[in-house]
Amino acid sequence: MIRIGIVGSGRVAYHLTKGFLNSSLHKDIRLEGVYARDKVTLSTFLPSAFIINDLEDLKNADVLLIAVSDEAINEVSFLIPFTDKIIAHTSGSTPMEVLSKHDRRGVFYPLQTFSKEKNVVWNEIPIAIEATSVTDEAILQKIASALSGNVLRLNSEQRVALHASAVFVANFVNHMFVLGHEICKKNNISFELLKPLIKETAQKVITLSPKEAQTGPAVRFDHQTIERHKTLLHSFPEGLYLYDVITKSIQNVHKNNISFSQK
């Protein structure tokens, strides 16, 4: 039996808690409790016996997952009064070494964008793990597999790369939606119209490589269309600036095959 304690009450802690509570896959894994500042959100689905007020109450846990904001991980790790447990954080960009107070430290990074309003399908979410020993790695592997069919080992440097890549394909993508939405709003066009296109664009890269999937005026070097768009955007400087920079970047990448420089 592996007993899991969770520390945190943000979006990741919320979905981890839900995930472990609903996981019936592994009978030998148990959620011991959640230490949370914000008890209100958790109490909507978590029986009160699981909500812990004192870190000491997690003394029977084998693994503590710290799901707090990146800046707080180090501080929280110093509040944990145990030396016999695996202490793992859940951050994509934070090195494992931030937990250096603990000998049995690790990382348990689920690669997904979490909102409280929306359930997630844990089984599809890749979980990247890292630990200081093969034994601890096997334990993290086991609890990750209770949630997901897609568990992998990554070192801290690879994990930062994965996280940076995720920023491009998720956070920056969403910013493109924000700007597109703004253009629609200004011109009395419903953003609803763009939803089939948004869906199709995401689906295309499931089967084609992103480079093959590139379409649009930039990659066609269609100056006339680009100029028409820029004229339209002249009263929206933020949109115009991004339009220009990204159009040039598309042209750069497709013309010069720009890539990471050789070390």
Q: How far is the CB of 213 from a copy of itself (least distance, A)?
A: 6
Residue 207 touching a copy of itself (CB under 8 A): yes
| DSSP state at residue 11 | H
The amino acid present at 65, given as its one-letter code, is: L
Residue 48 or 224: the one with the smaller Cβ distance to a copy of itself is 224
Q: How far is the CB of 41 from a copy of itself (least distance, A)?
A: 17
3 closest CA partner among 36, 27, 25, 39: 27
Q: In the range 58-117, which residues lie near a copy of itself by CB under 8 A?
A: 69-71, 93-94, 111-115, 117
Residue 24 or 190: the one with the smaller Cβ distance to a copy of itself is 190
Q: In the range 144-173, which residues lie near a copy of itself by CB under 8 A?
A: 150, 152, 154, 157-158, 160-173
Q: How far is the CB of 219 from a copy of itself (least distance, A)?
A: 7
Task: Identify the burial level of 157 via C-beta atoms within 10 angstroms of its C-beta, where 0-12 means exposed, 13-18 middle and 19 or more buried.
Answer: exposed
Answer left, alpha or beta for residue 216, where phi above 0 means left and psi between -120 and 50 means alpha. left
* Alpha carbon distance 158, 40 (integer Å): 36
Q: How far is the CB of 241 from a copy of itself (least distance, A)?
A: 7
Residue 142 or 204: the one with the smaller Cβ distance to a copy of itself is 204
Task: Identify the burial level of 250 via C-beta atoms within 10 angstroms of its C-beta, where 0-12 means exposed, 13-18 middle and 19 or more buried.
Answer: middle
Q: In the range 22-51, which residues lie near a copy of itself by CB under 8 A?
A: none
The amino acid present at 42, given as its one-letter code, is: L
